[in-house]
Amino acid sequence: MYLLTLIRRNAQATLTPEALLGRLEAVEPSIGFTQTYPDELQGAFDTAESAARAMLLAAQNNAFWVGIGIGELKAPRFASALGAVATTDCTGDSLDFTRLAVEQAQTGSPARGVVILSADRTFSEQATGLARLLYRVAANRTTAENRVIDLAVPGVRGQQKAIAAALGISAQAVSKTLVRALYQEQEAALPALVELMIRLDQP
C-alpha cells in the first residue's frame, strides 16, 4: 500500500487542504484522504501510479510537503465492509514510514519536498531522488501552466484543441505551455518512479 501524508508548507500557499481534498478524490484513493490536522491530509492508494500522481498534485505551487510510506496497511474489518475507513483507523508499518518520510521531506538545503520510505532503504533513496526531480518540476509551474496541465490526459495525443477550447486560448498556446512546463518530460520519467515504487511494495 502507498500511504501519503501531506503537510501544507505555509499558511499563504494558494492551494489549501480543503481545495486539495477534492482534487485528490479524482485520483481515486483506496482509502480516502481526510484532514488529520488543520494543515495535514492523509490517504492511501493501492497503485503506485495513482500515488505518484497525487504527489504531483500536492507539489503544485510548492504547496505541500509529501511523505510516501510504502508497506503494510491493515484496515479494520467492519469499517472496511461499511466503506468508512480512514487511515487513522488502520495499522501497519506504512503509517510509521509515511510519518518519518514527511518529516524528512521538510529537511535538507534546499528542502527535499518529497521523501519515499519503505523497509528497503536503498531503493527508497533511489525512488526519492527521482520523486524530488518530478516534485520540483511540478512545484515550479505557474498558475497558468497548471490550468493547462490539469486538463491534460496522460497518454492521449492531439488533445491540445480540446484543452484550448476549454480554456479559451489557442492550441498553439497550449502546445507552448506543455513544452515550457516540461509535461512530456514528466510523463516520460513517471513510469521509472512507478516501477521503483512497485518494487518497494513487494515482500
Per-residue pLDDT of the chain (203 residues; tens, 9 = 90+): 999 999 999 887 788 999 999 999 999 999 999 999 999 999 999 999 999 999 999 999 999 999 999 999 998 877 655 667 899 999 999 999 999 999 999 998 889 999 999 999 999 999 999 999 999 999 999 999 999 999 999 988 889 999 999 999 999 999 999 999 999 999 999 999 999 999 999 97
Judged by phi (left if over 0) then psi (alpha if -120 to 50, else beta), residue 71 lies in: left
Q: In three state form, how does the secondary structure of 39-77 look?
A: CEEEEEECCHHHHHHHHHHHHHHHCEEEEEEECCCECCH
- pLDDT confidence of residue 81: 58
- pLDDT confidence of residue 110: 86
- pLDDT confidence of residue 13: 77
- pLDDT confidence of residue 82: 62
Residue 68's nearest CA partner among 136, 115, 111 is: 115
Q: What is the pTM of this model?
A: 0.94
- pLDDT confidence of residue 55: 99
Task: State the CB neighbour count (10 A cutoff) for residue 120.
Answer: 17
Convert the pLDDT of each residue in 73-118 to its tens digit: 998 877 655 667 899 999 999 999 999 999 999 998 889 999 999 9
Q: What is the mean pLDDT of the chain?
A: 94
Distance of CA 161 to the CA centre of its chain: 27
- pLDDT confidence of residue 75: 87
- pLDDT confidence of residue 155: 85
Topology of domain 2-141+181-200 in CATH is Alpha-Beta Plaits (3.30.70)
- The CA-to-CA distance between both ends of the chain, in Å, stands at 12
What is the DSSP code (8-state) at residue 92?
S
Residue 89 and residue 11: Cα distance in Å, rounded? 28
Residue-range domain boundaries for the chain: 2-141+181-200
* CB neighbour list of residue 93: distance below 8 Å, 6 or more residues apart: 69, 71, 72, 119
Q: What is the DSSP string of 107-144?
A: -TTTT-SEEEE-S-HHHHHHHHHHHHHHHHHHHT--HH
